[in-house]
Chains A and B, each alone.
Chain A
Amino acid sequence: MNESTEFLHPMDQFLRQERIPHIWCSGCGLGTALNAFLRAIIKSKINQNKLSVVSGIGCTGRVGGYIKMDSFHTTHGRAIPFATGLKLANPDLKVVVFSGDGDLISIGGNHFIHAARRNIDMTVICVNNFTYGMTGGQGAATTPLHARTTTTPYGNYEFPFNLAYLAAGSGAVYVSRWTVLQVQPLERSISRALDKKGFSFVEIISPCPTLYGRMNRLSTGLDFLKYYQANTVVKHDVNLKDAEIGLDGEIITGNFIDIERPTLEELQKQEVTGPLAQKKAEEKTVVEERQKIEQE
């Protein structure tokens, strides 16, 4: 960077310049997803020095390598438990898990539901492109029924997860879904998720023209965006059960869930040192004294 304060891009302050260009294909939605995330950091006034981004394996997992903040690129599916340790050991950190659908929901599915259940104070951003990109376009737990991938050459015959429904059912306090075409609501939604205390989940529907798209008649990024434009509807109050994503048809987006529930840290504090704990300690003393008297 030269001495002028001019940036090549408004988000350059957050990027590791020496790591650019990135590895993502043209037409991929990850650049837009990352852009929305960085803008949300500014909007939510997050201290860059206290922010840790944790990711797993896959195309989305590479996000951490491009951003100028503490970032941990962990094993496949294990970003959430790693982030759990990071957050609980130092509650002053703002912890964001940024990873893909294969990583977070297939191999990491168990960790995902348990972190939501515990209501760990973290934001999970899941870029859902319905496939395994890094390994060449295999079927995933999110691949729509009938879609073709390299491991579903006859068409997918497994029901996919509806991620928003899964997150809500597992206990997330904030759940939203936006496509990469809806950049402004997406940015606002990530910002809201970052502000939220507890387990917040943002699903970003994103194109993979190179692999998933090519096998399903959406061979360029533009094809995807046109498809999103024609088929995306915003329904904040949809019954999430009905927000499944098929091979064609509408993609329901919106800020679905925004509720309050105490976090694991808050509940732990209550049980260990709060009024509840004091009451229990008093009861215990009474019991012990009674036993003592009986013994005497």
Chain B
Amino acid sequence: MIEKSTAVLTGQHFMSGDIACAEGAIAAGCRFFAGYPITPATEIAERMAERLPSLGGTFLQMEDEIASMSAILGASWAGVRSMTATSGPGFSLMMENLGLGIMMETPCVVVNVQRAGPSTGLPTLVGQGDMMQARWGSHGSYEIIALCPSSPQEMFELTIKAFNLSEQFRLPVLLMADEVIGHMTEKVIIPEPAELKIYQRRQTTLPPEKYRPYHPEEDLVPQMVNAGAGYHIHITGLTHDEKGYPVISAEAQQVLVQRLIDKIRRNRDKIIMFEEYYMEDAEIVVCAYGISARTAIWPIRQARQDGIKVGLLKLITVWPFPEEKIRNLAARVKALIVPELNAGQIVLEVERCAGGKARVISIPHLGGATHDPREVLRVIKEII
């Protein structure tokens, strides 16, 4: 029985990934959710509809995902942490205002519980086909942050992390889950509120006459003010100067867009997360994310029993891509294997970073089911 007014449900739970995501958002202080029903992310919206009103927050079912994305940007500028959750078709509709969020430097979180596409595809079945869309889906040049959970526990933790990164670097952060992780139900431990690390909004301390909305701090991220604070800010999706005013020139474009890119690139060490299993002596590395990282564990253990030195690099941050990590690995291992539930997306990044120094093998799967672990094992054994 949930005490309605409790934000952080400290304790042990048997919880699905989608519900854990909603609870992570609430624990991170999210008090505004706008969304549109879509399998397999609907449970997140339903949980938020139940939980937010009694916490003084707002749940709004919008007319579509375009509106959902717009609404969370508006809510964020009102000073409230905001989130939306969707799957492939809705994610496509969100691309327009994802770009607006990048340009306006608006903190918020977008969850994509991936199903198999293209188009309506397999609504109820797993896919990981939106990984490149996450990186490049909105028009123009920009950098993005995308995290991939591979358990309900990580759905909770990485949702909080996504909110923190969005506030720290002022952009929409993508939580790229998948249907299996969203619907998987297992133990989720929610810590005491005091144990949660929450990154507070970078509110300006300057008075209105000295404040410039897009004047960056040392780490290239500007301080923020909320609407209604008396600063009379002008915020636009047009290329703008430090005051926020539109400037239609190549010079202004260079200054602004380069900073939007560099604020992520130069801070990548603060953003990139991964986990390593059996990697000390590994000569073969399975590089995977989301459900595919879990699928890889059984074949790796089997291969180890046969004396094959294989390890797992589980990507948590997929964007920005952990280029240096892959470069270093490629210099010392024989092969990198990339199983993913698409025709081969992240493998392209692995290939690029490996630069021909190690073999890179894709194990594509078009979705609808996870990889057969025996298939991954077969590929590992073939390399020897």
Bound complex: CA A111 to CA B245 (Å): 27
Nearest CB of A to B211, in Å: 13
- Contact status A70-B75, CB under 8 Å: no
- Contact status B63-A70, CB under 8 Å: no
Mark the stretch among A71-79, A152-160, A241-249 that contacts chain B.
Answer: A71-79
- Contact status B235-A72, CB under 8 Å: yes
Which residues of chain B from 195 to 245 have any CB-CB distance to chain A below 8 Å in the complex? 226-238, 245
Given A89-B58, A110-B63, answer yes or no on A74-B70 (Cβ-Cβ < 8 Å).
yes
Which residues of chain A from 237 to 272 have any CB-CB distance to chain B below 8 Å in the complex? 268, 272
Cβ of A81 < 8 Å from any Cβ of B? yes
Bound complex: CA A86 to CA B235 (Å): 13
- Contact status A88-B75, CB under 8 Å: yes
Q: Is the interface of B mostly helix, strand, loop or mixed?
A: mixed
Select A82's contact among B73, B245, B246, beta carbons within 8 Å: B73
Identify the closest chain B residue to A86 (Cβ): B74
- Contact status B63-A90, CB under 8 Å: no
Residues of B in contact (CB 8 Å), total: 45
Cβ of B165 < 8 Å from any Cβ of A? no
Cβ of B319 < 8 Å from any Cβ of A? no
For B231, list chain A residues within 8 Å (CB): 70
Bound complex: CA A188 to CA B173 (Å): 44
Given A74-B70, A81-B62, answer yes or no on A90-B80 (Cβ-Cβ < 8 Å).
yes
Nearest CB of B to A125, in Å: 17
Q: Is the interface of A mostly helix, strand, loop or mixed?
A: helix
- Per-residue B-contact encoding for A7-21, CB less than 8 Å = 1, 0 else: 000000000101100
Mark the stretch among A35-43, A48-56, A142-150 that contacts chain B.
Answer: A48-56
- Contact status A82-B232, CB under 8 Å: no
Nearest CB of B to A3, in Å: 16
Given A70-B227, A86-B78, answer yes or no on A81-B236 (Cβ-Cβ < 8 Å).
no
Given A73-B234, A84-B71, answer yes or no on A50-B63 (Cβ-Cβ < 8 Å).
no
For A69, list chain B residues within 8 Å (CB): 232
Nearest CB of B to A119, in Å: 13
Select B227's contact among A93, A114, A268, beta carbons within 8 Å: A93
Bound complex: CA A272 to CA B237 (Å): 36
Cβ of A92 < 8 Å from any Cβ of B? yes
Cβ of A102 < 8 Å from any Cβ of B? no
Cβ of B336 < 8 Å from any Cβ of A? no
Select B67's contact among A68, A71, A81, beta carbons within 8 Å: A81
Nearest CB of B to A141, in Å: 17
Cβ of B77 < 8 Å from any Cβ of A? yes
Identify the closest chain A residue to B34 (Cβ): A85
Count of chain A to chain B residue pairs whose CB atoms are closer than 8 Å in the complex:
140
Bound complex: CA A85 to CA B332 (Å): 50
Interface size class of A (residues with CB under 8 A): 35 or more
- Contact status A89-B63, CB under 8 Å: no
- Contact status B73-A85, CB under 8 Å: yes
Cβ of A190 < 8 Å from any Cβ of B? no
- Contact status A89-B79, CB under 8 Å: yes
Bound complex: CA A93 to CA B79 (Å): 12
Bound complex: CA A80 to CA B70 (Å): 9
Cβ of B174 < 8 Å from any Cβ of A? no
Cβ of A65 < 8 Å from any Cβ of B? yes
- Contact status A89-B80, CB under 8 Å: yes
Cβ of B287 < 8 Å from any Cβ of A? no
Bound complex: CA A85 to CA B246 (Å): 23
For B235, list chain A residues within 8 Å (CB): 71-73
Bound complex: CA A111 to CA B62 (Å): 9
- Contact status B58-A50, CB under 8 Å: no
Bound complex: CA A75 to CA B62 (Å): 17
Cβ of A221 < 8 Å from any Cβ of B? no
Cβ of A137 < 8 Å from any Cβ of B? no
Bound complex: CA A110 to CA B66 (Å): 10
Cβ of B64 < 8 Å from any Cβ of A? yes
Nearest CB of B to A216, in Å: 30
- Contact status B32-A88, CB under 8 Å: yes
Nearest CB of A to B224, in Å: 13
Select B100's contact among A18, A50, A75, beta carbons within 8 Å: A75
- Contact status A93-B78, CB under 8 Å: yes
Cβ of B361 < 8 Å from any Cβ of A? no
Select A114's contact among B67, B72, B75, B79, beta carbons within 8 Å: B67
Nearest CB of B to A117, in Å: 9
- Contact status B60-A88, CB under 8 Å: yes
Cβ of B121 < 8 Å from any Cβ of A? no
Select B60's contact among A49, A50, A84, A90, beta carbons within 8 Å: A84
Q: Of residues A70, A83, A89, A110, which shows the largest number of chain B Cβ atoms within 10 Å of its Cβ?
A: A89
Which residues of chain A from 56 to 72 have any CB-CB distance to chain B below 8 Å in the complex? 64-65, 68-72
Identify the closest chain A residue to B67 (Cβ): A81
Which residues of chain B from 252 to 281 have any CB-CB distance to chain A below 8 Å in the complex? none
Bound complex: CA A64 to CA B240 (Å): 14
Given A65-B234, A89-B78, answer yes or no on A81-B53 (Cβ-Cβ < 8 Å).
no
Nearest CB of B to A72, in Å: 5
Bound complex: CA A85 to CA B207 (Å): 26
Nearest CB of A to B118, in Å: 24
- Contact status B237-A75, CB under 8 Å: yes
Nearest CB of B to A173, in Å: 19
Bound complex: CA A71 to CA B80 (Å): 17
For A19, list chain B residues within 8 Å (CB): 245
Given A110-B64, A268-B53, answer yes or no on A85-B74 (Cβ-Cβ < 8 Å).
yes
For B237, list chain A residues within 8 Å (CB): 73-75
Chain A to chain B contacts (Cβ below 8 Å), 17 pairs: A65-B245, A72-B227, A75-B97, A75-B100, A81-B34, A81-B67, A82-B70, A82-B74, A85-B72, A85-B73, A87-B74, A88-B32, A89-B31, A93-B78, A93-B228, A110-B63, A272-B53
Pairs of residues from A and B, 10 with the lowest C-beta to C-beta distance, nearest first: A85-B74, A85-B71, A89-B78, A89-B75, A81-B67, A81-B70, A73-B236, A90-B78, A86-B74, A85-B75
